Amino acid sequence: MHEVLVAFALTLGAGLATSIGGVLGVFGKAGSTKTLSLGLGFSAGVMIYVSLFEILPKGRDALAGVHGEVPGNWLMVLGFFSGIAAIAIIDHLVPSAVNPHEPGTIGDKHRKHALMRTGLMTAVALGIHNFPEGFATFMAGLQSPEIAISVAVAIALHNIPEGLAVAVPVYQATGSRAKALTWSSVSGLAEPAGALIGYLVLFPFMSDTLLGLVFAAIAGIMVFISLDELLPSAEEYGEHHLAIYGVIAGMAVMAVSLVLLL
């Protein structure tokens, strides 16, 4: 039970980082775009490294232990690309004008003016997008709290501009800071909701095979988010090289931390 509570707390904290973006959206301006670019790149580096070097191998080991080396590796590949397909389908179903993965959604004045009339739809879209992220963080927490902390921090960093994307149009549409902050927080609460629902649905059927497939899928989801959202957003906010430096720094920090945990 203690592991479940820790995993849920990390997921809740990562989700509520959208509230930070909400505060920036209604009470002030976001910080340095270069700092934000570096932070988003760093987040991408952490997520990509931990996905490919820690979460995906754990999934492979679990599957190979049950089904053998070759079938286990094929199942790992299936799980990995199934995770990518799932998040890609979610993106496809969300209207491009309010999809956080579409270039220019954040920071473009014309888009913000358009989003002013669809603020609540933005919150709903982000909520749908955040649902699998919450499950990914939660499952990482159950397996390894140390890894989950890095995952939660990375997801929290990229949730800040998402909260900003919700708060600005809602505030402009209603003139209410309270409503803007509420909806930016609600969109983030989809992450602990995803964790809770996923846990309740899958826990009765949990096995080494299912656990391996889930971890492989989580790795796919996190890699897709990094390549589809974090890196484009990092470059949109700042310079190309600065974003890449952030990615490398995130990978380096994650690599060192994983080695120290051995």
- Of the candidates 161, 129, 150, the residue with the CA atom closest to the CA atom of residue 45: 150
130 appears as a binding residue in the annotation:
yes
99 appears as a binding residue in the annotation:
no
102 appears as a binding residue in the annotation:
no
Task: Please say whether the dihedral angle defined by the alpha carbons of residues 108, 114, 117 and 121, taken in this order, is positive or negative.
Answer: negative
Q: Which two tokens stand for residue 150?
A: 């890095």
Residues 55/57/60/65 CA torsion (nearest 10 deg): -110
**What distance in Å separates the CA atoms of residue 113 and residue 39, rounded to the nearest whole number?**
26
**What distance in Å separates the CA atoms of residue 33 and residue 37, rounded to the nearest whole number?**
6
191 appears as a binding residue in the annotation:
yes
133 appears as a binding residue in the annotation:
yes
**What distance in Å separates the CA atoms of residue 207 and residue 82, rounded to the nearest whole number?**
18
Q: H helices within the chain, ranges in order?
A: 2-15, 18-27, 33-50, 56-67, 69-93, 109-115, 119-143, 145-174, 177-202, 208-225, 231-237, 240-260
Other C-beta atoms closer than 10 Å to the C-beta of 137 total: 30
Residues 154/158/159/161 CA torsion (nearest 10 deg): 150
**What distance in Å separates the CA atoms of residue 214 and residue 72, rounded to the nearest whole number?**
13
158 appears as a binding residue in the annotation:
yes
**What distance in Å separates the CA atoms of residue 256 and residue 96, rounded to the nearest whole number?**
38
Q: Which two tokens stand for residue 211?
A: 């656990």
Q: Which residues are annotated as a binding site?
A: 130, 133, 158-159, 162, 191
Q: Which residues are annotated as a binding site for Fe(2+)?
A: 130, 133, 159, 162, 191
Q: Which residues are annotated as a binding site for Zn(2+)?
A: 133, 158, 162
